[in-house]
């Protein structure tokens, strides 16, 4: 018998249940992955709360890394004892082992541990497509990154510095200022009404604003993002940590300087096997260069996933959080 976290209704962390399950042999095109670490991401919260609907009852978690224990018929490119990782789209990474389509796995380079992979793969590939393919950030640009001390934020800051950008970061607590500076922010601002973020961004940029804003917070930072973007600037709204942005009128984008806004999704940029391989390879390259240095700020036992969800929703985490079986 294996164990997994499952939920049967949407709700708070208390709906997450630790259950035993029978795991069959992997089918054609599948492998069995023994979990060594699973990643905690805000998308997991969105699935649990119904922002992204899941078919009930459902496993939870998309990111995980471990060792292949069995290989189904027709699988090529993977063998027993290979180390591999996935970022979905199938739910269920909060499990001691599971069967996965081989095409959704990435073979891990020797120098990248399973814990590092679980901490960085989803967030790192998210940063890859946002920085390099959605925003096409260029050396010398000054950009704004909200929640710069968070899991995605830290990786984004390192990546942006690695390609020669200047980074203005925001954090929600004074205690996170030094962390944001340590990961590479050139300027750190306090959000949540503690500073006028847009005014400070304008001051730093000589009144111009920034060509790109990376906003994973949502409702609480939307006005600051609008006020910080330069004429014809781009806001990448990639998350709803504070709630969804609602009631936006298109005229608002005109009034703030003919702005562009996108609500991007990872799997619209990682559609083909070629895109998936290229994106992951670029991430592994940035890890190898030291531009991306994922911090594992918290480790929880897999069975304590509900506690981990409370921590990330309460803004009590820094860097990445992983779950260990």
pLDDT grade for 151, boundaries at 50, 70 and 90: confident
Nearest to 208 by CA among 158, 141, 254: 141
Return the percentage of the chain with pLDDT > 70, whole number.
100
Q: Average the pLDDT over 299-319 and give the result.
A: 94
Predicted confidence at residue 170, as pLDDT, reads: 97
Q: Average the pLDDT over 162-169 and give the result.
A: 98
Q: Average the pLDDT over 234-248 and give the result.
A: 86
Q: Average the pLDDT over 37-53 and give the result.
A: 94
> Which residues make Cβ contacts (< 8 Å) with residue 249, sequence separation at least 6?
none
Predicted confidence at residue 294, as pLDDT, reads: 85
Domains of the chain: 2-120+294-324 (3.90.180.10), 139-263 (3.40.50.720)
pLDDT grade for 242, boundaries at 50, 70 and 90: confident
Q: What is the mean pLDDT of the chain?
A: 95
Predicted confidence at residue 317, as pLDDT, reads: 87
pLDDT grade for 91, boundaries at 50, 70 and 90: very high
- Give every strand in the sheet of 187-190, ordered side by side: 187-190, 166-171, 142-145, 210-215, 229-237, 260-262
Pairing of strands 166-171, 58-59: unpaired
Residue that is written with structure tokens 């969105």 in the block: 46
């Amino acid at each position: 018998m294996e164990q997994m976290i499952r939920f049967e209704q949407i709700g708070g962390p208390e709906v997450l249940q630790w259950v035993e399950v029978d795991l069959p042999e992997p089918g054609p095109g599948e492998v069995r992955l023994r979990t060594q670490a699973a990643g905690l991401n805000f998308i997991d919260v969105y699935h649990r709360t119904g922002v992204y609907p899941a078919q009930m009852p459902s496993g939870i978690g998309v990111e995980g890394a471990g060792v292949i224990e069995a290989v189904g018929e027709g699988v090529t490119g993977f063998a027993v004892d290979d180390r591999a990782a996935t970022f979905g789209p199938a739910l269920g990474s909060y499990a001691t082992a599971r069967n996965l389509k081989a095409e959704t796995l990435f073979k891990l380079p020797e120098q990248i541990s399973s814990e590092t992979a679980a901490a960085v793969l989803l967030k790192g590939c998210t940063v890859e497509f946002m920085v390099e393919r959605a925003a096409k950030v260029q050396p010398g640009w000054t950009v704004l990154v909200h929640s710069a001390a968070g899991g995605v934020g830290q990786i984004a800051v390192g990546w942006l510095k690695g390609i020669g950008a200047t980074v203005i970061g925001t954090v929600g607590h004074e205690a996170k200022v030094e962390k944001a500076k340590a990961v590479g922010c050139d300027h750190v601002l306090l959000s949540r009404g503690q500073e006028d973020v847009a005014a400070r961004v304008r001051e730093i940029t000589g009144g111009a604003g920034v060509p790109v804003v990376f906003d994973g917070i949502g409702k609480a930072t939307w006005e600051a993002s609008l006020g910080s973007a330069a004429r014809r600037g781009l806001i990448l709204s990639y998350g709803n940590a504070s709630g969804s942005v609602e009631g936006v009128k298109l005229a608002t984008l005109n009034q703030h300087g003919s702005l562009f806004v996108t609500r991007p999704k990872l799997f619209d940029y990682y559609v083909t096997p070629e895109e998936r391989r290229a994106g992951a390879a670029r991430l592994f390259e940035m890890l190898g260069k030291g531009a991306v240095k994922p911090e594992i700020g918290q480790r929880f036992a897999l069975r304590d996933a509900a506690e981990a969800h409370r921590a990330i929703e309460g803004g009590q985490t820094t860097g990445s959080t992983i779950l260990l079986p």
